[in-house]
Amino acid sequence: MKRKIFLKFMPLAAILALSACGRGSGEQPAGNVKRNVTVEEVKLVPVEQLSTFTATVEAKTVNNITPAMGGRIRAIHVDVGSRVAKGQTVVTMDAANYSQQETQLATLKRDYERYRELYEVGGVSKQQLDQLKTQLDVAQTALNNIGENTRLVSPISGIVTARNFDPGDVAGGMPILTIENINPVKIVINVSESFYSKVSVGMPAKVEVDALDGETFEGKVSLVHPTINPTSRTFPVEIEVANSDSRLRPGMFSRVTLNFGTNERPLVTDLAVLKQAGSNDRYVFLEKEGKAVYAKVELGTRIGDKYEIVSGLGVGDRVIVQGNTGLVEGSEVQVTQLEIE
């Protein structure tokens, strides 16, 4: 609770007498009236070091379903918005190449069995048998590869977010489908290098999403990139957020807040902080020996109706919090009220 200390004024007669003396001596011009001001003494208080970053929600994993070799699409078993499970067949390609390779493999298997029987009776050499076995193994591997290229399966569980072809099309280099895992989702923010030693995996984060009426979600740091961008002097940090109900969707705008601990900092009311005309500088007026003294300040976090002051003020400084409008450096002021937290 604030205590307000009111300073007693001199009796009116004494003021009039002093004014008369001043006019007589020429030391105080008649128009030079002291401004009545309210001041507040600066002291340090614990302030949470909160920083907010803007970013876009992304899928945790994105997989593009693309055949290893171009070919005609026979069937697409899912559509945009479909949920798929890991290992599920999502596309069937033309099987002509598979059938040809299957026939070739069957022929090599028969030849190998015949060569093995001949080898046992001395009809062929060990080298000939081994060569045929190598051809058989190569053909089997080729069949497996073609089989994988014929039945395309999803390597992840997720949701289909893009479909670029229809059955009958010949697939080229473009993915047929895109599948994204959105539980959890991730958000990548760029953090100033000054915080590098304060960020660690598992650190909690609060995520606010505009599209969901500013609803807040709990997340945690899942990855801290090991290098600093030499141009921006920032480093990427990945935030992971659980999304079992799929309310968070890739592309949503978000604000991520990290707490880097607490520092002892001055707090002053927003009424005391003024903006420098023609620039973005902020300043306050201090009261020193009955005069207004300009002091440039660097602002930190806004907390309610107060600003954290990062630099520019010291403990015990008397900040003018009322009556500061229109003051200039060196203006004479009269403290009528001293606010103490």
Q: What is the pTM of this model?
A: 0.65
Same domain assignment for residues 290 and 309: yes
pLDDT of residue 171: 86
The last residue of a domain, from among 220, 239, 261: 261
- With beta carbons less than 8 A apart as the criterion, state whether 89 and 176 touch: no
Same domain assignment for residues 99 and 170: yes
What value does the mean pLDDT take over residues 236-252? 95
pLDDT of residue 129: 79
- Domain residue limits at 194: 51-60+181-261
Tokens coding 308: 């954290």
Q: Is 120 helix (H, G, I), strand (E, B) or coil?
A: helix
Residue 15 vs residue 45, higher pLDDT: 45
Total of domains in the chain: 3
- Residues across the chain: 341
Same domain assignment for residues 289 and 250: no
Same domain assignment for residues 151 and 76: yes
Same domain assignment for residues 73 and 160: yes
pLDDT beyond 60 at 22: no
pLDDT of residue 261: 85
CATH number of the structural domain spanning residue 199 = 2.40.30.170
Same domain assignment for residues 217 and 286: no
What are the pLDDT digits (tens) for 259-286? 988 888 999 999 999 998 888 899 999 9
pLDDT beyond 80 at 114: yes
- As a whole number of angstroms, the distance between CA 140 and CA 130 comes to 15
Same domain assignment for residues 288 and 148: no
What value does the mean pLDDT take over residues 237-248? 95
Query: To which residue do tokens 């993915």 refer?
Result: 175
Tokens coding 225: 């990139």
pLDDT of residue 23: 37
341 band by pLDDT with thresholds 50, 70 and 90: low
Same domain assignment for residues 147 and 189: no
Same domain assignment for residues 144 and 243: no
CATH number of the structural domain spanning residue 310 = 2.40.420.20
- With beta carbons less than 8 A apart as the criterion, state whether 176 and 78 touch: no
Q: Residue 6, exposed/middle/buried by CB under 10 A (0-12, 13-18, 19+)?
A: exposed
- As a whole number of angstroms, the distance between CA 278 and CA 282 comes to 11
Same domain assignment for residues 143 and 55: no
Query: To which residue do tokens 């968070």 refer?
Result: 248
Closest residue by Cα to residue 258 from 232, 225, 227, 220? 220
Same domain assignment for residues 152 and 193: no
Summary mean pLDDT of the chain:
85
104 band by pLDDT with thresholds 50, 70 and 90: confident
- With beta carbons less than 8 A apart as the criterion, state whether 43 and 58 touch: no
- With beta carbons less than 8 A apart as the criterion, state whether 51 and 260 touch: yes
What value does the mean pLDDT take over residues 17-45? 63
pLDDT of residue 25: 36
Please state the separation of Cα 35 from the chain's center in Å.
48
Q: Is 19 helix (H, G, I), strand (E, B) or coil?
A: helix
pLDDT of residue 1: 44
pLDDT of residue 127: 87
- As a whole number of angstroms, the distance between CA 56 and CA 37 comes to 47
What are the pLDDT digits (tens) for 157-172? 999 999 999 999 988 7
Percentage of residues of the chain with pLDDT beyond 90 = 57
pLDDT beyond 70 at 146: no
Same domain assignment for residues 247 and 321: no
Phi/psi at 267 (5° precision): -125, 130
The last residue of a domain, from among 232, 261, 290: 261
The last residue of a domain, from among 235, 261, 287: 261
What value does the mean pLDDT take over residues 234-250? 95
- As a whole number of angstroms, the distance between CA 205 and CA 186 comes to 12
